[in-house]
Amino acid sequence: MVSGIGIDLVYIPRVKNMLERWGEQFKRRLFTPVEINYCEKKILSHYEFAARIAAKEAFTKALGLGMRGGIRWLDIEVVNKKTGEPIINLYGKVKEICKEKNINKIMMSLSHDQYYAIAVVILEI
């Protein structure tokens, strides 16, 4: 049964600007080492970082909280299976919240073009 749906759209040039301006500080605040390593291996890494921001925002919207209530950016990790399928790993407070809400399945789709990254997340109980 669907428990929540979230969607988020991120303007990629803004993320590129933030990466250029704040560099490692920006990355370490929003992304886990695994995410940083994955994104930095890509030629257009700012596209990958933007997609992960969209995914994290969409996930918290699906949860019904947004980025508040003790949720940290680093508690939500977006990684890819060998097939390329994106999945979310949860840690800390957000993992506890999902357990309390009996969330047992997270479905996600990511996409981007030249200017925008989008993510849709569906949570099931």
Q: Where are the domains of the chain?
A: 2-124
pLDDT tens readout for residues 2-61:
999 999 999 999 999 999 999 999 999 999 999 999 999 999 999 999 999 999 999 999
Residue 70 has a pLDDT of: 80
pTM summary value: 0.95
The fold of 2-124 is Ribosomal Protein L22; Chain A (3.90.470)
Indicate the residue type of 120. V
Is residue 122 within 8 Å of 107, Cβ to Cβ? Answer: yes
Region label for 83, one of left (φ > 0), alpha (ψ between -120 and 50) or beta (otherwise): alpha
CA dihedral 35→108→50→72, nearest 10 degrees, is -60
pLDDT band at 111 (very low <50, low <70, confident <90, very high): very high
